[in-house]
Amino acid sequence: MTNPAIQFENVSKKYGSNTVINHLNFTIPADSLVTILGSSGCGKTTTLKMINGLIQPTSGTVSIGGQPLDEWNLIDLRRHIGYVVQQIGLFPHMTIADNIGVVPKMLGWNPTKIQQRVNELLRLVQLEPQQFASRYPSQLSGGQQQRVGVARALAANPPYVLFDEPFGALDALTRLSLQKEIKRIHQTLQNKTFLFVTHDINEALFLGEKVMVMHHGQIEQFATPAEVVNHPATAFVKELLGTVRQNQALWAGDRDE
Ligand SMILES: Nc1ncnc2c1ncn2[C@@H]1O[C@H](COP(=O)(O)OP(=O)(O)OP(=O)(O)O)[C@@H](O)[C@H]1O
Ligand SMILES: [Mg+2]
C-alpha cells in the first residue's frame, strides 16, 4: 500500500488556553497493529477521536488513507473505522446477533447476508453462534460482552479499527485471553490497521508491533516493544518501565522482611 494508513501532521488540540495535544506528528503504517500507551489525561482518547472525526483538531492535518479528514465525508469515514470502547454500549433490548448486525442493517444488507456475517464474526471472537446469537447482553459476562463489541466493530469490514482501553474493566486472565484474540484476529484478517489505546504497559508491549508512548499530549517514543524496553528514549519512558520492574520486585518477594 502506498498510502500511509493514518497520518498526523503538526496536530494540536486546545481547550481554551489548555493544550491537550501538542504538535503531534506520526504515521501509522497500513495493516499494522500499533498501541498507544500513556497515563490518564495524556491525550489518548482525544487522539483517537480526531481520527474518526468526533473531535476536530485546533490546528494541523489528520489524513486517513492519504486523504485529509476535511476531504472525507464523515459518514463514509465512520463506515471505514470500527470503534471499540470500554463501556461497550450494547443495546440491552436487542439480541447479540442484532447488536452485531446494526451497521450492516443500516447499510441495507439483506437478512441472509447479515446472518451469515454475524455467525462468521461470532466464531471469529470465539463465541458459538448457536449458544450466543439469540441471547441478550445482560446474559453475557463482561468479557463476552467485550468480544461482542469487537465483533460489532468489525461487522462492515472496516479497514481501520480503533480500540480505546476496551479491556480496562476485566480481570487479568480474561484480559490476557482477549489480548491474544486481538492479536490473532489482526493476523487472520487481511488489510486491517488496528490502533489500540491502553495505560497498561504490559498490554501495550504485548500487543503492539509498534508502541507509541505519549505524555502531556506529545510522543515520547514511537518504536517496537524491544526498542522501547532496551533503549527507552526519554526519562519518562525509563520511569514507566521502572514501575513494571518495581511491581515484579514486589511480587517476586524481593523485599526485606
Ligand atoms: N471537552 C473537553 N474540554 C476540556 N478539556 C478536555 C475535554 N476533553 C478532554 N479534555 C482534557 O484533555 C486532556 C486529555 O484527555 P483524554 O480524554 O484524551 O485523556 P486520556 O489519555 O484518554 O486519559 P484516560 O486514560 O484517563 O482515558 C485531559 O486533561 C482532559 O481533561
Ligand atoms: Mg481515554
**The predicted structure's pLDDT at residue 253:** 67
| Predicted pLDDT at 228 | 95
pLDDT given for residue 254 in this prediction: 56
CB-defined site of ligand 1, < 6 Å: 15, 20, 38, 40-46, 199
| Span of 70-79, 158-167, 225-234 with lowest mean pLDDT | 70-79
Residue 139 is predicted with a pLDDT of: 96
78 compared with 51, residue with greater pLDDT = 51
What pTM was computed for the model? 0.92
pLDDT (average), residues 32-36: 97
Residue 235 amino acid letter? A
**Grid coordinates belonging to 180:** 491474544
In total, the chain counts a number of residues equal to: 257
Proximal ligand: closest to the CA of 13: 1
Per-residue pLDDT band at 79 (split at 50, 70, 90): confident
If 0-12 CB within 10 Å is exposed, 13-18 middle and 19+ buried, where does residue 141 land? exposed
Q: Find the 117 Cα to ligand 2 centroid distance in Å.
A: 30
CA 66 to ligand 1 centroid distance, Å: 27
Please state, in angstroms and rounded to a whole number, the distance separating the CA atoms of residues 1 and 76: 20
Write the CB contacts of 41 (distance below 8 Å, at least 6 apart in sequence). none
Task: Give distance in angstroms: CA of 165 to centre of ligand 2.
Answer: 7
**pLDDT tier at 1, thresholds 50, 70, 90:** very low
Q: Which residues contact 202 (CB under 8 A, 6 or more apart)?
A: 244
Which atom of ligand 1 lies closest to the CA of 13? 12
Nearest to 181 by CA among 201, 196, 200, 199: 196
The pLDDT confidence band at residue 215, using thresholds 50, 70 and 90, is very high
Instruction: Give the pLDDT mean for 203-223.
Output: 96
Ligand number, closest to the Cα atom of 199: 1
**Residue ranges of domains in the chain:** 4-225
Instruction: Give the per-residue SS3 of the chain.
Output: CCCCCEEEEEEEEEECCEEEEEEEEEEECCCCEEEEECCCCCCHHHHHHHHCCCCCCCEEEEEECCEEHHHCCHHHHHHHEEEEECCCCCCCCCCHHHHHCHHHHHCCCCHHHHHHHHHHHHHHCCCCHHHHCCCCHHHCCHHHHHHHHHHHHHCCCCCEEEEECCCCCCCHHHHHHHHHHHHHHHHHCCCCEEEEEECCHHHHHHHCCEEEEEECCEEEEEECHHHHHHCCCCHHHHHHHHHHHHHHHHHCCCCCC
Q: Percentage of the chain with pLDDT > 90? A: 77
Q: Are residues 193 and 31 in contact, defined by beta-carbon separation less than 8 angstroms? A: yes
Q: Which CATH number fits domain 4-225: 1.10.645.10, 1.10.1370.30, 3.40.50.300, 3.40.190.10?
A: 3.40.50.300
